Copies of this chain bind each other. A is one copy, B any other.
């Protein structure tokens, strides 16, 4: 170790020992945008890599109002009750639309927040989905290395982030609620395509019957979809985070999925594909980021105005922007 270099061994050891202070410090390093910190977190991740891969990686999505936080609180408590150690993360790039980060405070998961078998990390800040996704994915790996048996990643099912979350987990759960239609509006159809299971939440009290009907409706909808896997057809179930009805069933489904996908070799295959997709994703994002931080971005901004004003065609404008790259070979 040359002078000035950071000693990363305490981070690595701290994570492997599940020392919460070092775990938090490591994640902070991952979330940092300083080049030196990024280099350090890369080295830490490489060292932790052999200790990752064992957790149940569960993605959870649903519209605002679907009861995601309450579900994670109840389901996470069920898991810890069965001896699981549970980490909860979130992917949610801050945007003017959503008004910032979900899981911003832990007060929405009171029980889980003080549960010693649980670890809740609020959504990292960041403007681009790519940046937030990278941090969350790497935090998931760190939590795995720290010995957490289940990692739940929460996201809102309204944009592109649910696709990104689906691409980093083994099991993708879509939370819905029964309703006359208005509550369900806004959920993108494509989200259903990603689902390994759909749970109609808030199936309690007066709502039980309506939840059952919604369950039937979504089962019908699934018949129009082509199955993602030959060894798995996504079940549609009902549950209540209040009465905890149906939560045991969801755990059984997740474990059944794990067993079947492992036996068929699909889990290994899926994770390998996710790794390659992840590499391509980061390269694509990185290339675009490099480009948009170059002077060509100003040319694009100007050209955009000209196109809006109808002065030039998009084709001519694009040619003008791309001319900036000409001769920029390696």
Which residues of A approach B to under 8 Å, CB–CB? 38, 42, 45-46, 49, 134, 138, 141, 181, 184-190, 192-193, 217, 220-221, 223-227, 272, 275-276, 278-280, 282-284, 286-288, 290-291, 294-296, 300, 303-304, 307-308, 312-319, 321-322, 324-325, 328-330
Report yes or no: B286 in contact with A325, Cβ–Cβ below 8 A. yes
A49-B313, A188-B190, A189-B192 are contacts. A303–B328 as well, Cβ < 8 Å?
Answer: no
Secondary structure at the A interface, as helix, strand, loop or mixed, is: helix
* List of B residues within 8 angstroms of A287 by Cβ: 287-288, 291, 322, 325
Q: Bound complex: CA of A156 vs CA of B317, how far in Å?
A: 29
Report yes or no: A282 in contact with B314, Cβ–Cβ below 8 A. yes
* List of B residues within 8 angstroms of A294 by Cβ: 329-330
Report yes or no: A308 in contact with B223, Cβ–Cβ below 8 A. no
Shortest CB-to-CB span from A53 to chain B, Å, is: 10
Known: A138-B315, A187-B226, A296-B330. 12 other contacts (CB 8 A): A46-B312, A186-B226, A187-B224, A189-B225, A190-B193, A217-B224, A272-B308, A280-B304, A287-B287, A290-B328, A294-B329, A294-B330
User: Which residue of the partner chain, among B189, B275, B318, contacts A307 with CB atoms under 8 Å?
Assistant: B275
